[in-house]
Structure 1
């Protein structure tokens, strides 16, 4: 008589795909734990001299991860210099300013070289300006120094579908920018003043960080984008070259020769499954919802190419 225990299929046989995913997730968790433990090990003689890399990629909508990573590199004595690799069209004003300030603090303690990828415009250029030197590819799109506010007017559409808004505010300007009616001249004047104040801050920070006359920067700060080669001729960029050229320059500024270990970040603390779901579903849906709600609900001030 057959033994039921002997003939019963194992979990891995009954659910091979699920079992494989569990094994993969476990392996990724172990690998992530090992990397985290290595990251927390004492530096100094054990780690030797290293270079840090800060990657600024995509739209700048938040600053916590970038500022936190820059702070880690600043405090780590084994990190002798930092490469700021930027591939971003810009983003929201305040986060761009926070990252800019963090890079300025870092550059007071260690050599920092900015390396521009395909695009480092508006907020991306703002952040790059805080580095001691900037290197761009000849065809990098950069510059685009300026601020824009995005507003949507759906009054005509709302009237067609019978949609109206009841707006109760505590002051005359609290409802400025609502998409359900035309903007009044006073509201336009008020919002333009906000935009121009942010623009003034942008221009002043670029002039100070780059050691340029404010009038010189202001003349270029009309929203125009430049190629890397044009920006180099205008004094917005110091060198022409790619990321490897920038790394060579950073080693030179740090007095390092030969191969040097590199520590890149910010590190995303996500499981494999969460990364797959995030890339396939969560991020696209979140971006779509964000675009819809920001367009309808409130104005946005952005440093964006």
Structure 2
């Protein structure tokens, strides 16, 4: 009789092990299917005339695959137009510049239209500038034309804890800004010159993209955000609307039929996109904003 409880316990342990291995096998199977589907979707180029949609979401950083895909689209006769769908608070200056350059090369060959979602600010607005026409929702947040450089000074906290940092630098500006000592007047002046030069580059893109007077562009480039309606009033966008209005404009002004299918540009596999969505916000936003010395960014960041 004593063997029966032991047999039941063994069976339960065996069943739990089988359940675990079955779950792992199912997970591995779905992972393999997603990986193969993603690889196929990345390698097979859609045929037939179509409108290409480029989604720009979240933090903008330089992505070689996106730039290369846009350069291929610029010379692909099947791509009749490109719709840039933006929902981003911005990103790095270099990332915005690279995207702006690639979209400018596309715009030199075929129509490009930008659509603003909830947010298209800073580098997100920079990405819209090569478009022949920019649409936004009434409530879209855009603008924020400016450059941001942030650092922290924890020297007082370290002194209270009895911790000191030993820094050996080749010059007085090499470690500016630094977490370990206050920003010097000389360092602040040098960094300010960098920020002003980057800001001037951004303003130049606005002047060229919006065909706007330089003084007018500088007056709007004080870092403030605009709603879609406000942006329309000051000339930062062309119209209120979404993809339906963009397709109608392309048909009327660029002879791109509304009947053509719209296909999203995919540069990453399904697995990569799933992993990216899970980690992008933490790695690129939280860590970059709160830890260490950050690079200059064109990022809308409301004051805390």
Shared fold, TM over 0.5: yes
Is the Cα contact below 8 Å between 1:150 and 1:295 reproduced in 2?
no
Show the counterpart of 1:35.
41
Aligned to 1:291: 288
Residues 41 and 269 of structure 2 are in contact (CA less than 8 Å); yes or no, is this contact kept in structure 1? Answer: no
CA contact (8 A) 1:88 1:119 kept: yes
**What CA distance in whole angstroms lies between the structure 1 residues aligned with 2:277 and 2:113?**
30
How far 1:248 moved relative to its partner? 3.0
CA distance in 1, matches of 2:205, 2:190: 23
How much has 1:158 moved relative to structure 2? Answer: 1.1
Hey, what's the Cα distance between the residues in 1 that align with 2:183 and 2:258? 61
Q: Distance in 2 between matches of 1:279 and 1:55?
A: 14
The residue aligned with 2:86 is 86
Q: Can you list the C-alpha shifts for 1:209-230, whole angstroms capped at 9, x where unaligned?
A: 2111111100111011000100
State the 1:127 CA deviation: 1.1
- More displaced stretch, 260-269 vs 105-114: 260-269
Name the TM-score, length of structure 2 as normaliser.
Answer: 0.85
Matched residues, number: 285
Matches of 1:19 and 1:12 in 2, distance apart? 10
Residue in 1 aligned with 2:160?
A: 160
When residues 162 and 248 of structure 1 are mapped into structure 2, their CA distance, relative to the original with a 3 A threshold, is: farther
After TM superposition, the structure 1 stretch with the greater mean CA deviation from structure 2, 235-244 or 107-116, is 235-244
Compute the displacement of 1:258 (Å): 4.2
CA deviation vs aligned residue, 1:134-162 (integer Å, no higher than 9, x gap): 01111100011111111111111111222
**1:238-257 superposed matches below 5 A:** 238-257=238-257
TM-score scaled by structure 1? 0.85
Which residue is equivalent to 1:202? 202
> What's the offset of the Cα at 1:187?
1.1
Partners of 2:250 and 2:296 in 1: CA distance: 34
Residues 197-236 of structure 1 aligned to structure 2 (within 5 Å): 197-236=197-236
Hey, what does 1:303 align to over in structure 2?
A: 298
CA contact (8 A) 2:42 2:266 kept: no
Between stretches 83-92 and 20-29, larger displacement belongs to 20-29
Confirm whether residue 16 of structure 1 aligns to residue 22 of structure 2: yes
Q: Gaps (5+ residues) in structure 2? A: 1-14
In 2, Cα distance between equivalents of 1:112 and 1:38? 23
Q: How much has 1:87 moved relative to structure 2? A: 0.6
